[in-house]
């Protein structure tokens, strides 16, 4: 169901089988709230069960993919490890989605904005894209299975650099590292993603689902275990002095001083 913060549509004719999910908080660079996580989880679950949906495309409005978690919302309504938590439901729906998932990335793709891409089958980034995973910089740890999926794509050393130093990755480098399939000009990522989605939608859906299943099979159990371990550590770290310092520094718009914070 479309909400002001999450737009759900069928681009082109309904019989094309492409569902488009657009994050819609451009004034906050599409920072994700608990309500948006719930909407995304519900939309993915419904699309998985809907025979008329063959491919799902995720994008963001206003020139950005997403700035990651909305920290104000995050602090006012902290997430939990409960199975009914919007964040947990979204991550579970993302990791188990059976059909092709395509992402169109413009501008900022921060935190979960990057880690969710690791679960996509095709990713289009524009030259304006900037992927960043600042979990360590916030006193936290990676989530969404990133500690398993990222090294498989870019190697251990590069994954350590991106995660431990929170290094940003621009569009061209994302393509070179294997984090994206296509590089588009600014504001052209979505049209290219929809083109690829249309090509996927023309393929036999049963074969697509089985092929995705085969691609995931070698790490299916390891991914589920990694996501559970990451989640437990992530929520543990939310209560750490380092995370407290990082969040206070963020809101005070200053550099955090982790040397004074006790791990």
CA distance 22 to 66: 10
pLDDT class for 263, splitting at 50, 70, 90? low
Q: Report the CATH number that the domain containing residue 125 is assigned in CATH.
A: 3.90.226.10
CA distance 161 to 154: 10
CA distance 11 to 160: 38
Can you tell me whether residue 31 is helix, strand or coil? coil
Range of the domain at 137: 1-183+214-263
Structural domain contains residue 201 = no
| Number of domains composing the chain | 1
Structural domain contains residue 57 = yes
CA distance 99 to 156: 29
Share of the chain above pLDDT 90, in %: 86
Structural domain contains residue 204 = no
User: pLDDT tens for residues 87-132?
Assistant: 999 999 999 999 999 999 999 999 999 999 999 999 999 999 999 9
Structural domain contains residue 192 = no
Say what the pTM is.
0.94
Q: Is the pLDDT of residue 245 over 80?
A: yes
Structural domain contains residue 46 = yes
User: pLDDT tens for residues 148-169?
Assistant: 999 999 999 999 999 999 999 9
User: pLDDT tens for residues 38-86?
Assistant: 999 999 999 999 999 999 999 999 999 999 999 888 777 777 777 788 9
Structural domain contains residue 152 = yes
Q: Decide: residue 167, CB within 10 A, 0-12 exposed, 13-18 middle, 19+ buried.
A: middle
Structural domain contains residue 218 = yes
Residue 206 or 250, more confident = 206
Strands 169-170 and 130-132: antiparallel
As separate numbers, helices (DSSP H) first and strands (DSSP E) second, the chain gives 11, 9
Q: Which of 168, 127, 177 is nearest to 149 (CA)?
A: 177
Structural domain contains residue 207 = no
pLDDT recorded at residue 74: 74
Share of the chain above pLDDT 70, in %: 97
Can you tell me whether residue 95 is helix, strand or coil? helix
């Amino acid at each position: 169901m479309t909400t002001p913060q999450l737009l759900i549509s069928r681009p082109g004719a309904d019989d094309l089988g492409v569902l488009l999910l657009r994050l819609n908080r451009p004034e906050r660079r599409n920072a994700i709230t608990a309500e948006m996580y719930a909407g995304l989880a519900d939309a993915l679950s419904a699309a998985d069960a809907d025979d008329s949906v063959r491919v799902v495309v995720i994008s963001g409005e206003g020139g950005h993919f997403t700035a990651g978690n909305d920290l104000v919302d995050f602090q006012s309504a902290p997430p939990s490890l409960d199975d009914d938590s919007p964040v947990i439901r979204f991550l579970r729906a993302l990791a188990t989605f059976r059909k092709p998932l395509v992402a169109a990335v413009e501008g900022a793709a921060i935190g979960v904005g990057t880690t969710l891409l690791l679960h996509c089958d095709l990713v289009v980034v524009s030259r304006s894209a900037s992927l960043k995973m600042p979990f360590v910089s916030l006193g936290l740890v990676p989530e969404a299975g990133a500690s398993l999926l990222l090294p498989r794509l870019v190697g251990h050393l590069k994954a350590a650099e991106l995660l431990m130093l929170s290094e940003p990755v621009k569009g061209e480098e994302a393509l070179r590292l294997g984090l994206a399939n296509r590089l588009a000009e600014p504001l052209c990522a979505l049209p290219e993603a929809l083109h690829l989605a249309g090509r996927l939608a023309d393929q036999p859906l049963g074969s697509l689902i089985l092929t995705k299943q085969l691609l995931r099979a070698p790490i299916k159990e390891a991914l589920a275990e990694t996501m559970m371990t990451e989640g437990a550590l992530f929520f543990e770290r939310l209560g750490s002095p380092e995370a407290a310092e990082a969040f206070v520094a963020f809101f005070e718009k200053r550099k955090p001083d982790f040397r004074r914070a006790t791990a």
